[in-house]
Chain A
Amino acid sequence: MSFLSSYIHYVGCFSLILIGLYVVLVKPNLIKVIIGINLIDTGVNLFLIAVGYIRAGTAPIFSEAALQADKMVDPVPQALVLTAIVIGVSVLALALALAIRVYGHYGTLDLRRIKGLRW
């Protein structure tokens, strides 16, 4: 049981990342691959936040004057994840725009058939 309480969060994050990686490597549909990339991004963001957790910690906001600084979780990973989420959204938006263009030219979203650029 101590294994679960100690590691389950990391196992969860990495399962998300590995599932996303599997989708990207195996699925032929372009939209599914883009969703897979989004899964990887989500998993990585969870991992970053998990790294900064302090046991029995609270959010790093001084909402009342009586809160103590040493019971708060690490604020730096939360700032990193803010940036990473925005970057992930930007890549997603651009990927969808390119998918629209590809669909307009090739008429299909199957990556096995989008092979105009040969060897």
Chain B
Amino acid sequence: MRRLISLLLLLIVALGLALCLSGAPFGARGADEGAGLAPDKVNFGRRYNERGLEENGAANIVTSVVVNYRGFDTLGEVTVLFIAAVGLAAVLYTRTGKAASAGAEPSSLVLFTGCRFLFPLILLLGAYIFIHGHLTPGGGFQGGAVVASGFLLIYLGCPDRKLSKAAVGAVESLSGLAFVAVALVGLTVGGSFLLNFLPKGTVYGLLSAGIIPLIYVLIGFKVGSELGGIIDNLSGGSE
């Protein structure tokens, strides 16, 4: 009965979507022809492509959209991840820190040494990704996720090593506060929240594009420490 009703509902939804998109084939045509879904649909994105390099100095246009043009959304997104980390810790809070990872057998020498060897290399890769976010594909979130996977490797391979909760909490709060502070400096100095107030530098240089690499480094630290804290909480946690 339940299956029948849900299949019916899905059929209605699918029909509505199919009819809605029937006149709009995939892939807008380029600048020289008309466009796919809407007549001037491509103008919005194209304006960022064309003017992005001179307005922001970042070679990666997606980065300049994420950090500068739609930087307010990125602030919100960083907050959402923060809420998830704090909320998860609040939900899984127990008054006495029960060690749920008791009973994990110690790992063999090969595994232990291999994980410890790989860990700094993974951190280096993650740091490379978020430092070069304005030049190559990638950025703060991607680099932070790679850093967190390094932490996960240590949790899985070396069962007795754990992150210090205080350090993780301090890093994530400080980076978040620094992000808001940089945005507010833009407000006081230039009159707009999140204004790109540092000099643009030369394109393709490491220190180009104003505040964009700075913000991505902050986001990289924040996301890495937050995901590490989430992994710590989910695997039983230490008090």
Contact = CB atoms under 8 A, between A and B. Distances in A.
Consider the complex of A and B and state whether they touch directly, i.e. have CB atoms less than 8 Å apart.
Answer: yes
Interface in A70-112: 70-80, 82-83, 85-87, 89-91, 93-94, 96-98, 100-101
B25 A79 contact: no
B21 interface: yes
Contact of B83 (A14, A71, A90): A90
B7 A79 contact: no
A97 B88 contact: yes
A20 to B, nearest CB: 10
Interface string A39-82: 00000000000111111110111110000011111111111101
Which has the most chain B C-beta neighbours within 10 Å: A56, A63, A97? Answer: A97
Contact of A61 (B44, B46, B50, B60): B60
Contacts of B87: 94, 97
Give the interface size bracket for B toward A. 35 or more
A74 B41 CA distance: 10
Contacts of A63: 59, 136
Given A18-B14, A62-B203, A25 B2 contact: yes
B80 A90 contact: yes
A7 B21 contact: yes
Nearest to A54: B28
B37 A51 contact: yes
Contacts of A86: 77, 80-81, 141
A61 B141 contact: no
A79 B72 CA distance: 12
A14 to B, nearest CB: 6
A112 B110 CA distance: 46
Nearest to B14: A18
A90 B81 contact: yes
A103 B45 CA distance: 46
Contact of A21 (B13, B21, B46, B59): B13
A18 B37 contact: no
B26 A54 contact: no
B84 interface: yes
Contacts of A53: 26-28
A60 B26 contact: no
Interface stretch (B62-70, B169-177, B179-187, B193-201): B62-70
Q: List the 10 shortest-distance A-B pairs measured between CB atoms, nearest first.
A: A74-B45, A90-B84, A6-B25, A25-B6, A60-B61, A69-B49, A70-B31, A79-B65, A97-B88, A69-B50
6 contacts: A18-B10, A26-B2, A55-B28, A70-B30, A74-B42, A76-B44
Given A21-B10, A74-B44, 6 more contacts: A8-B26, A10-B26, A18-B13, A60-B62, A70-B31, A79-B66
